[in-house]
Structure 1
Amino acid sequence: MSEAMRVTSQPPRAHPGGFPPDPDFPQLAIASDPQRMLELFRRHLEPAAGKRYRIETCVPLRFRCRQSTARCVLQYTLRLLEPGTGRRWDQGVTGLLYAQKGAAERLWREMQATDPSQGIPDDWLTFRPVGFIPDLEMVVQVFPYDRKLRNLGLVLGGALRDLEPQLLARLAPGEWRVTERTMAPTRYRTELGAALRYTLQACDATTGRAETLRCFVKVYRNDHGEHTFELLQSLGQRVERGETGYSVVRPVAYRKDLRTLVLEEAPGTALLQLLREGHDPAGPLRITARAVAAFNQDDVGNAAVARSSLAVQLEELRRGATIVEWARPELATQVRAITAAVAAGLEEVAPAPIHGDLKPDHVFLAGDRVIFIDLDSVVLGDPVRDAAHMFAYVAGRVGLDAMAAEQARAAAVLFAAEYFDHVPGAWRRRFGLHCAGALVEVASAIFRRQEAHWPRKVAAAVAAARECLG
């Protein structure tokens, strides 16, 4: 078993979903129930040859429901126990449901046509990579198998070792040799992409000195990682010349053959962690707001950045609203009214650089430096979208359960006030509309992430969106 999989922390607590009935996907009543899915996974997942595990818990992780009304992608985290050693770790699995009768079983048979375990390192092979639960007509994929991310197994199997000399060069001069290497998943979205923490233990053969190196690896479904690599290179050069009021995570390399981007570990501490730790949020939020304002008014150098129109933004809002309306039907009238008000009130404006996915876990602080990570969504669009997105994630307490609602709201307001002190005054006029839309999207994200007490949190986010409209 890979050391990267030997997670000893306590498993996440299971929580009820309360899904609405759906005639196209009647299986969701069971698929959203952690206890019933635990029983089904115990019955239908087959351990890989020579291995034996006990599945202790099942926790819904991320649900993408009614994608084009044709299917649902349901991610779960299973807590495994290896009886012979007593080791415990978390194992990701994905269930695929299809509205069309027989579609899931046909896909399962197609996936069995070639050996799905091919290319997966033995250390990562826990169960048979592909399974089928007839009771639900559900295809099951066991991480790291992913029919759309076929390079993932290669990356986990050591395909990036030729980059290790480049990584070791970051250390002080010496005869450095890698003594241990591990990879651990930090984020995985089925069929879309995976992020892995790559840790190297190194020793200087001359002095015996030991060092630990960390970087992050992102495996993409398509070639978008190459664009992100070029963007980070361009922005990084401007940061080094002192031309920006912000920093970005440094790229190490892009492997086109693997569709994989390698990044240095961001220095400092994530803003999300600082907010969780209960310190006075004023300082970190003000510094962050000034950096976001600087980014939104930058010219991003020579990087080729696509434009995102208002129509694209409104389509994203409508997709999020559709999910919220489906998950909480009693909120549908309110959500439709919010969506209509945002669509009617916003106008196309001069585009500026926006992060596109700005939230507290995508911002790191190291002293007075603010480092942005996860810049895959950078586009040219309405810059106020970034400030609204951050406001919505903080006010909506996404990942901030320990923060009181009043405290979170005050922190979000403080961030916004500092931001608007450093951007053109005219931008503030459309902030309420953007915040309303962002809060609907946050409500959708809360459901997709299956956060604890998601029905209540979704309702609170929708109520906050209404308040933003006045």
Structure 2
Amino acid sequence: MPLLATRVPLQASDDPALPGLAVLCRPAELTAMLSPRLAPWLGPDAHLLDSRAYLRRLSPGKRCSVELELVVGRANGFPAERRRLLGKLYREDQGATVYQTLGELRHHGFGAGRFIVPQPVAYVPEYRLLLLTWAEGELLRSVFLARSDAAQEIAGAAEWLLGLHKCGVRTGRHYSFLGHLQTLAGWKELLAEIHPQGERLMGALLARFEERGRELSGWTPGPIHRDFSPEHLVVHGDQFTGL
């Protein structure tokens, strides 16, 4: 599901299958839960005064992305400041694996510079809640819709993905080449429903992928972003953040 254009108030009834949703709807309880877990990230002279959660994306029965708006007080007398985090709720315990994988990626070249991933701030297992730094910028999808020429951003997205393939991370789920072909075949059917004229081209591409795969027997598997799309990349100037 695409990221919502605007944030909307969160309700516990949005998805009963997600056990952590209820606490996000109660600001006082949410703030009490977040305070000790965010202390290392906020720093020794800061403390959490208030927090609110807003819905940004919902995949019913699976996961939910929320924008967490934080009010942070300072011990030195400076005015309180507002900060944001991205929260991801899961039905099961995938958040722990995502937390580990993001940490690995940041230690393999994606922690600073032009191509990055968000910093994993904390994982709260009892609520299956993953907390990440907020990625400033625009979704690549929004760039495509707003501009007729996004060649520079497309090139940057390709470079980000190439960097991922070459970074050397070995943790996370593993997929076979055959599994990828089956996934792409499913996408081909969906694309054909929307754009029938492209079915032949997509079929030719899949055949070429399969042919090249046979030629590359014995290749060393590398990391991928299995759901890579314009929804999963944030552009901020010349910086690209993968989600």
Bin for the TM-score computed over the shorter chain: 0.7 to 0.9
Pick aligned residue for 1:183 from 53, 57, 80: 53
Distance 1:284 1:168, change over 3 A: farther
1:45 alignment partner in structure 2: none
Name the count of aligned residue pairs.
232
Deviations 1:133-192 (Å, cap 9, x if unpaired)? xxxxxxxxxx4242x3233223433457433245355457635441x3210111101111
2:182 alignment partner in structure 1: 315
Contact 2:55 2:65 in 1 (8 A): yes
Q: Distance in 1 between matches of 2:144 and 2:190?
A: 28
1:360 partnered with 2:230: yes
1:162 partnered with 2:33: yes
Deviations 1:402-433 (Å, cap 9, x if unpaired)? xxxxxxxxxxxxxxxxxxxxxxxxxxxxxxxx
Which protein, 1 or 2, shows the higher relative CO under an 8 Å CA cutoff with sep ≥ 6? Answer: 2
Pick aligned residue for 2:77 from 166, 187, 207: 207
Q: Distance in 1 between matches of 2:156 and 2:163?
A: 11
1:250 partnered with 2:137: no
Structure 1: 5+ residue stretches without partners: 1-60, 63-76, 78-88, 92-122, 126-142, 374-470
Alignment of 1:91-240 (within 5 A): 124=11, 143-146=13-16, 148-157=17-26, 158-159=29-30, 161-167=32-38, 169-171=40-42, 174-178=45-49, 180-204=50-74, 206-239=76-109
Query: Normalising by the residue count of structure 1, what TM-score does the alignment of the two structures yield?
Result: 0.42
2:206 alignment partner in structure 1: 342
1:286 partnered with 2:155: yes
Contact 2:118 2:242 in 1 (8 A): yes
Larger Rg: 1
Q: Distance in 1 between matches of 2:202 and 2:46?
A: 61
Partner SS, residue 241 of structure 2: strand
Partner SS, residue 191 of structure 1: coil
Alignment of 1:328-407 (within 5 A): 331=196, 335=199, 339=203, 342-343=206-207, 346=210, 347-348=213-214, 349=216, 350=219, 351-373=221-243
Contact 1:144 1:153 in 2 (8 A): no
Amino acid in structure 2 at the alignment position of 1:167: L
RMSD after superposition? 3.7
Contact 1:314 1:343 in 2 (8 A): no
Contact 2:72 2:82 in 1 (8 A): yes
1:299 partnered with 2:168: yes
Query: Normalising by the residue count of structure 2, what TM-score does the alignment of the two structures yield?
Result: 0.75
Contact 2:139 2:232 in 1 (8 A): yes
1:280 offset after TM fit, Å? 5.3
Deviations 1:298-335 (Å, cap 9, x if unpaired)? 212xx41333223212322344455567x67x95x985
Q: Distance in 1 between matches of 2:149 and 2:204?
A: 37
Deviations 1:28-52 (Å, cap 9, x if unpaired)? xxxxxxxxxxxxxxxxxxxxxxxxx
Q: Distance in 1 between matches of 2:239 and 2:100?
A: 22
1:195 offset after TM fit, Å? 0.7
1:367 offset after TM fit, Å? 4.2
Q: Distance in 1 between matches of 2:138 and 2:116?
A: 14
Partner SS, residue 95 of structure 2: helix
Contact 2:68 2:86 in 1 (8 A): yes
Distance 1:324 1:358, change over 3 A: closer
Contact 1:145 1:153 in 2 (8 A): no
1:202 offset after TM fit, Å? 2.4
Distance 1:228 1:160, change over 3 A: farther
Amino acid in structure 2 at the alignment position of 1:253: A
Amino acid in structure 1 at the alignment position of 2:18: L
Distance 1:316 1:213, change over 3 A: same
1:279 offset after TM fit, Å? 8.0
Deviations 1:357-382 (Å, cap 9, x if unpaired)? 22223222344432211xxxxxxxxx
Deviations 1:328-353 (Å, cap 9, x if unpaired)? 7x95x985995587258613543322
Contact 2:105 2:111 in 1 (8 A): no
1:263 alignment partner in structure 2: 132
Contact 1:177 1:204 in 2 (8 A): no
1:236 offset after TM fit, Å? 1.4
Structure 2: 5+ residue stretches without partners: none
Partner SS, residue 364 of structure 1: strand
Partner SS, residue 354 of structure 1: coil
1:248 offset after TM fit, Å? 1.0
Amino acid in structure 2 at the alignment position of 1:254: Y
Amino acid in structure 1 at the alignment position of 2:127: L
Q: Distance in 2 between matches of 1:344 and 1:298?
A: 25
Partner SS, residue 70 of structure 2: strand
1:274 alignment partner in structure 2: 143
Contact 1:177 1:205 in 2 (8 A): no
1:138 alignment partner in structure 2: none
Amino acid in structure 2 at the alignment position of 1:174: D
